[in-house]
Amino acid sequence: MLPKLAGVFVLAGFSLTLGAVATVSAASDEVPFPDGFRDWFAVNSMIVTKDSPLSAQIGGLHIVYVNAKGLPLLKTSGPFPYPDGTVFADDVHDFSVKDGSYVEGTKKAVTAMVKDSKKYAATGGWGFQVWAGGDPAKPLIPDTAHAIQACFVCHSPQQAQDYVFSTYIP
């Protein structure tokens, strides 16, 4: 089991990523790439450093986005669950540290959680995917079994808010 992180984030683990493992040609659970997510609502940001036990899985500077479908419920913090069609995307970048400031670098990965309560019933109604380098042609999670291991295990403790770490921070 991956270590748990108490926080406010959508965390889709990507221990399968970062070069060592070949990408899959087609994700069997068919989670679509979150096209245009940079124009969505920016929910929050976080940095996972090399000092974190999750560094290998999710190290980097994160900015989490939510699409218009999920935004109202995020802002009211419920009532859960999120409606089908909700998508959270996490834009993960490298970062550098200079004189005590952590500065955003190049894109490392994009992750997504897509809500479809029937299609993804085995993982809380969420489909999970990670794309290496944020490239839509490079999904890294081949099937539901891997999604459970790489993503859902960490999200499970968040069941009370529909498996989502992120909260709205005014």
Which residues in this chain contact a second copy in the complex, by CB under 8 A? 3, 5-9, 38-39, 41-42, 44-55, 61, 63, 65, 93, 98-107, 169-170
CB of residue 68 to a second copy, shortest distance in Å = 10
CB of residue 131 to a second copy, shortest distance in Å = 14
The SS3 call for residue 113 is strand
DSSP structural state of residue 164? -
Q: Which is nearer to a second copy, 107 or 119 (CB)?
A: 107
CB of residue 49 to a second copy, shortest distance in Å = 5
CB of residue 42 to a second copy, shortest distance in Å = 4
CB of residue 126 to a second copy, shortest distance in Å = 22
Rounded Cα–Cα distance for residues 114 and 6 (Å):
22
Q: Which is nearer to a second copy, 45 or 149 (CB)?
A: 45
Q: Which is nearer to a second copy, 69 or 107 (CB)?
A: 107
Q: Which is nearer to a second copy, 40 or 128 (CB)?
A: 40
Give the pairing type, strands 101-115 and 87-98: antiparallel
Are 60 and 48 in contact, with CB atoms under 8 Å apart?
A: yes
Q: Which is nearer to a second copy, 29 or 91 (CB)?
A: 91
Are 47 and 162 in contact, with CB atoms under 8 Å apart?
A: no
Residue whose C-alpha is closest to residue 46's, from 67, 57, 60, 34: 60
Rounded Cα–Cα distance for residues 117 and 7 (Å):
24
